[in-house]
Amino acid sequence: MQEKVIQIAGSITVDELAQALGLSVTSLVGELFKQGIVATINQRLDFDTASLIIDELKVEGVRLEKKNTSVQVSEVHRELSDHAVDRPPVVAVMGHVDHGKTTLLDTLLNKKTVEGEAGGITQHISAYQLEHDDRLITFLDTPGHEAFAAIRQHGAMLTDIVVIVVAADDGVKPQTVEAIKFAQSANAKIIVAINKIDREGADIPRTMADLAQNGLTPEEWGGDITMVPISAKRGDNLDKLLDMILLTADLEELKADVDIPSEGLVIESHMETGKGSVVNLLVTGGELKTGEFIVAGSSYAKIRTMVDFKGRPKGKALPSTPVTVTGFKELPNFGDKFLEVADEKTARKMALLNANASSDAAASANVTSTDLLRMMNVADNSKTFNVIIKGDVLGSVTSVVDSLKLIDTHGEVTLNIVSTGVGDVTENDVYMAAGDNTVIYGFNINVPTNISKMAARDGVSIRNYKVIYELLDDAKSSMEELLDAEIVEEEVGEMKIKGVFRTEKSSIIAGGEVLTGKVAAKLGDSEAKVMGRVYRKKELIGEVEVESVQKEKMAVPELVAGETGGIAFNLEKRLVIEIDDRVKFFTRELKRKKL
């Protein structure tokens, strides 16, 4: 695998670096926080900071390079090398419901791919490629505008060209307007297919006027939007539509690098019995091959099988190619970016980072500042108790989670629920827990022997309980262990010095009267030594430690208020005690706080 080079001109934003590394912004912010850098999504990092992070993350196959121009990295990242090659255009079909999107995609597919083949393709496919004039065009099924919008928020460029289908007998409708807005905001080129021209009520000029009113002026009227009247059902003018797509693509000079680690987007994913996860990917860069390790969001895969949209095995896939792969450990999400990495270890690590981040910023496609703040708090690992909860049924998982959240840590320890689930502890749970001090709590479940062994090897603690209170007690004491220990001082007594018998470098023997409390060398079972602060007229002049206590030249355990006796003090620093000095005795212990 070749190295991926991220060029940095001066600085790089957190967002850009996350993208370039194929990480989510939240996970990168978390990593930064661990390095003591509090960063927001738009924060700029200098070259050294970015290098430090990459080293720390141990991301392999990525190298930073200083670039001495003013080009921003987001452009640099997409900027192509001199040997970038042409790639087919990626086209999405959008428009109002019932205006003929599905019919158009189906007709094109059958017209162009079925020739010479028996049966054709009947099952639903999310993306396909067809050939026109000996060139390939990639079509994406429209997964709904919301999904497209979500992808855009991830900053990914999914489509080069959007074909907006408008029924000539119905005109511009709300979803048509939405599609136009989407295409414009995604910076995609727009081509309009005025459909259903075979229909009686079809009115092409009126439809064009409708479109012009919505900002799409036809070329015929001096605008820059190509409009092709078609009948998706009968197949009229579809070749013209394809010609226009290729022409538009030519003007865009669509290219991609192939000698970089492969990357792209998840365009569909589902489970299939016997195969496990079946995931459709669109390659956008590099050359995807079977056997490679790729990370997509919180999941990763060693690509086991790869087939094209017709189900034919494909050993490698170039940019703009849609493929279906198996081998993902878990289902990645629609719109997740995938990135090739060097090995399983890196894949696992990056997936884990993304998982931790997304479980925290859960369910929000957009990272808000609140998410970031919360994420930052969580990232301070010293005070974060990471847990994975597994239970026998959903109800028990919920009650464990709810009860854990009720443990009041006075804001001193953050409980970070990395993941929850029903069923036994799995390999994946252990992977997720490894290296992050995450405790796996099981409630009424089994821990298979191989999993216990794996956990022991990876230093992961799996704690299985059948009684919820015991589980909660354990969690509470584990959180207490994370609390800072504090220094606790307790007053013991006070003495007035009445005579000094011997002063040496590291010891003094003096006598006096105990005014309050008592004085002793040791208090009960406590290991703590008894110390004394020496005051001369209210001014603190030094600290001593009680070595032994005497009364009438006999060693005694203690002297109480009203008694007179002698004390042997140990000195840490040279000190002279005088008559009339007062010594206030105390113990000093390091105590762990309690919740």
CB of 167 to ligand GDP, least distance (A): 7
Q: With respect to ligand GDP, which residue has the nearer C-beta, 33 or 182? A: 182
CB of 145 to ligand GDP, least distance (A): 13
CB of 100 to ligand GDP, least distance (A): 3
Write the DSSP string, 288-312: EETT-EEEETTEEEEEEEEE-TTS-
Which single residue is written with the structure tokens 């392999």? 60
Q: With respect to ligand GDP, which residue has the nearer C-beta, 44 or 199? A: 199
Write the DSSP string, 535-590: EETTEEEEEEEEEEEEETTEE-SEEETT-EEEEEEEESS-----TT-EEEEEEEEE
CB of 136 to ligand GDP, least distance (A): 23
Q: With respect to ligand GDP, which residue has the nearer C-beta, 193 or 266? A: 193
CB of 93 to ligand GDP, least distance (A): 8
CB of 163 to ligand GDP, least distance (A): 11
Give the residues across from 516 on adjacent strands.
494
Do 83 and 48 contact (CB within 8 A), yes or no? Answer: no
55: how many CB neighbours lie within 10 A of its CB? 10
H or E, element range at 140: strand 135-140
- The CA distance from 588 to 136, in Å, is 79
Q: With respect to ligand GDP, which residue has the nearer C-beta, 195 or 356? A: 195
Q: With respect to ligand GDP, which residue has the nearer C-beta, 111 or 374? A: 111
Residues that bind ligand GDP (CB under 6 A): 95, 97-103, 195-196, 198-199, 231-233
Q: With respect to ligand GDP, which residue has the nearer C-beta, 201 or 274? A: 201
CB of 219 to ligand GDP, least distance (A): 22
- The CA distance from 261 to 350, in Å, is 15
Q: With respect to ligand GDP, which residue has the nearer C-beta, 268 or 340? A: 268
As separate numbers, helices (DSSP H) first and strands (DSSP E) second, the chain gives: 15, 32
CB of 165 to ligand GDP, least distance (A): 6
Do 167 and 200 contact (CB within 8 A), yes or no? Answer: no
CB of 118 to ligand GDP, least distance (A): 24
| Backbone region of residue 6 per phi and psi (left: phi > 0; alpha: psi in -120 to 50; beta: other values) | beta
CB of 99 to ligand GDP, least distance (A): 5
Long-range CB contacts (within 8 A, 24+) of 445-451: 445/390, 445/391, 445/392, 448/424, 451/424, 451/425, 451/426, 451/427
Q: With respect to ligand GDP, which residue has the nearer C-beta, 237 or 326? A: 237
Structure tokens at 201: 């009520």
Q: Which among 204, 194, 238 has a CA at the least distance from the CA of 105?
A: 238
Q: With respect to ligand GDP, which residue has the nearer C-beta, 147 or 521? A: 147
Q: With respect to ligand GDP, which residue has the nearer C-beta, 196 or 337? A: 196
Do 415 and 406 contact (CB within 8 A), yes or no? Answer: no
- The CA distance from 238 to 62, in Å, is 44
435: how many CB neighbours lie within 10 A of its CB? 13
Q: With respect to ligand GDP, which residue has the nearer C-beta, 103 or 550? A: 103
CB of 241 to ligand GDP, least distance (A): 12
- The CA distance from 238 to 241, in Å, is 5
Do 288 and 279 contact (CB within 8 A), yes or no? Answer: no
